[in-house]
Amino acid sequence: MPRIDADLKLDFKDVLLRPKRSSLKSRAEVDLERTFTFRNSKQTYSGIPIIVANMDTVGTFEMAVVMSQHSMFTAIHKHYTLDDWKLFAANHPECLQHVAVSSGSGKNDLEKMSSILEAVPQVKFICLDVANGYSEHFVEFVKLVRAKFPEHTIMVGLVGPSPDGEAEKSFAMGWGAGGSVCTTRTKTGVGYPQLSAVIECADSAHGLKGHIISDGGCTCPGDVAKAFGAGADFVMLGGMFSGHTECAGEVIERNGQKLKLFYGMSSETAMKKHSGGVAEYRASEGKTVEVPYKGDVENTILDILGGLRSTCTYVGAAKLKELSRRATFIRVTQQHNTVFS
């Protein structure tokens, strides 16, 4: 019999963070770096816990070079070849601690990922990314990869809150199907409001000494702050990093405006590019958009980090680590003044 969960679930747009007493004199005092020791691999990682999504338009080597300069992380998309990885590792060894190799869950995916990790042993992170992280096939695949690479940290997803908390025992990507170029909610009716997804996934994960990535749903630096406030250990961004020089693809000029292409990895564009088209048994669950060209990603990085520091000063958190403990969300009917929007 169908079941209705009547509990209210919230998205980033439904809340604001309440300002609180603060002893901080300047935004410059805020420490955004975190240090994590991961439960399964026993690895320790230090950096600013923002991840560029493993989409082939944004999760590029060029993006990783800039991100690593800020101690930020990039999940490299899975369509680079072994030779591409070797060249990147030779030219930018300083970046390798801040990147992950991405893979699907097929036999060929495993073979390719294994060859990359063998050729570039400095890379210690693996990103295993499928649409439904609860599928039995994927769970078995994760176990296989864990057995093969016991000293690597594995990010798995995508997952929403689960009744048994099983998925959150790993380093999991909490996801509500709300990405900027994701159409899963409208195509399938499946999803979960991102703020509630993060709060519930984090509650399960932290109780099991796991970690959570908030993936999707952020439209501005304030949303990134809300994700951290909700308990996310890392925040993964795709759309907010789209349209930059470091993104894949040429700059398009149309009617005097410069644009760059950005699309979901389940879009018709992505499936035509990498799989020869949309299989007859499935539907596209992503959109393709032309994003205004934004220039170098450096300015966007500084905007996000500056906003995050401001959030911490408003709520009295001297460190990003303290933000979730200092955060109180208030429900609102409007996010901002729209007179000049």
Domain boundaries, the chain: 34-331
Residue 331 marked in a binding site: no
CA distance 306 to 70: 13
Instruction: Kindly give the parts of the chain with pLDDT less than 70.
Output: 160, 162-171, 174, 176
Kindly provide the b/e burial profile for residues 150-184, where b requires at least 16 CB atoms within 10 angstroms of the residue's own CB: eebbbbbbbbbbeeebebbbbbbbbbbbbbbbbbb
Residue 81 marked in a binding site: no
Structure tokens belonging to residue 185 = 């909610």
Residue 106 marked in a binding site: no
Residue 210 marked in a binding site: no
Q: Looking at residue 136, what is its pLDDT?
A: 85
Going by C-alpha positions, the residue among 281, 49, 292 that lies closest to residue 171 is 49
| Candidates 182, 201, 218, 247; catalytic one | 182
Cis-peptide into 195, omega within 30 deg: no
Q: Looking at residue 168, what is its pLDDT?
A: 47
Residue 215 marked in a binding site: yes
Q: Looking at residue 265, what is its pLDDT?
A: 87
Q: Looking at residue 158, what is its pLDDT?
A: 73
Alpha-carbon distances, residue 322 vs 195, 197, 220, 221, 311 (angstroms): 18, 20, 21, 18, 11
Residue 185 marked in a binding site: yes
Residue 216 marked in a binding site: yes
In this structure, which CATH number among 3.30.70.240, 3.60.20.10, 3.20.20.70, 3.40.50.150 belongs to the domain 34-331? 3.20.20.70
The residues, ordered by sequence, that sit 6+ positions from 196 with a Cβ below 8 Å of its Cβ are: 9, 10, 11, 161, 176
Confirm whether 37 is a catalytic residue.
no
Confirm whether 184 is a catalytic residue.
yes
Q: Looking at residue 46, what is its pLDDT?
A: 98
Residue 242 marked in a binding site: no
Q: Looking at residue 107, what is its pLDDT?
A: 92
For β-strands 252-254 and 234-237, DSSP reports them as unpaired
Under a CB-based contact definition with an 8 Å cutoff, are residues 326 and 315 in contact?
A: yes
| Candidates 184, 201, 269, 300; catalytic one | 184
CA distance 31 to 15: 25
Dihedral of alpha carbons 150, 86, 71, 233, sign: negative
Q: Looking at residue 174, what is its pLDDT?
A: 66
